[in-house]
Structure 1
Amino acid sequence: MEPCRSLALFAGSLGLTSSLIALTTDFWIVATGPHFSAHSGLWPTSQETQVAGYIHVTQSFCILAVLWGLVSVSFLILSCIPALSAPGRGPLVSTVMAFSAALSILVAMAVYTSMRWSQTPFSQVQTFFSWSFYLGWVSFILFLFAGCLSLGAHCRTRRAEYETL
């Protein structure tokens, strides 16, 4: 198997895993006060809490990124099995899907970051981003790597030409 395809599969799998973990965990933001500490994520736990619009946007684009990443990894896996893939098309579809996942997670992270930074802080409470938030940014980088490596695998794929037929 080609090194670009293997590395793209590895980066795509890591990107998919990290975006799933970031989406489902509750450590996006941590607030510490004089006598308490609290953390929250994208999914509120109480039913009567009104969820802000930017949270819904972040949830939606994170879910889209996970779906695009799943399609990208699936096509890379299928491209490794010659009987199940169209010649040379698996890495190309995987490239488009990986870049779509990267764009979706970029929109989600940019919206969340900009809205959290624009909120006014409380005087005795310190808030800061936590590991789930940073894992979302890591998944963006991994999806970009997966897209670039899939494109490299697509460009290196031997295609049937007129002379070889």
Structure 2
Amino acid sequence: MTREVFPGRYTAKPEQETVTVFLIGMRANRWWKFARVQRVAKQMPKMLRHLATHPESGMLGFESWVGRTTILLSYWESPEHLQRFAADRDAPHLEPWREFMRTALGTGHVGVWHETYEVRVADAESVYADMPAFGLAKATAHVPVGPGMNTARQRLGRERRPAAA
């Protein structure tokens, strides 16, 4: 699947004051234990399908990379939205997590990890050059870099602007 490439430079322009960035992944520590690795790996697509059909869950968008260590980068409306999804008995997360804790934790076959960051949009900066809509820009708003947004310092609002005459 090829996504349209946008020539030039673009940036993200979220409307909200904060964005929750959630990184999650798994690592096949013992890749030859394929069945056990696969049992854990097959849970994430179910979760992503659920989140795509339930926008009220609060996930704004995601990107993923698959390999021995798999990484999913996602953007959420708030930490509370993320935590609510994780604990929701009707969503496809809680039961697979409990199964992992009962059957896989401690075996060393598969590792799982996550990190959560709540980021003030005023403290975030992004630029995408000759890229498809990606990351935070794909999850929120994908806008061309224009006057006053040419440098990272400007996009962060940290460059002094000349006083009006």
Same-fold status (TM-score > 0.5): no
Instruction: State the TM-score, normalized to the length of structure 2.
Output: 0.29
| TM-score normalised by structure 1 residue count | 0.29
Please identify which structure carries the higher helix content.
Answer: 1
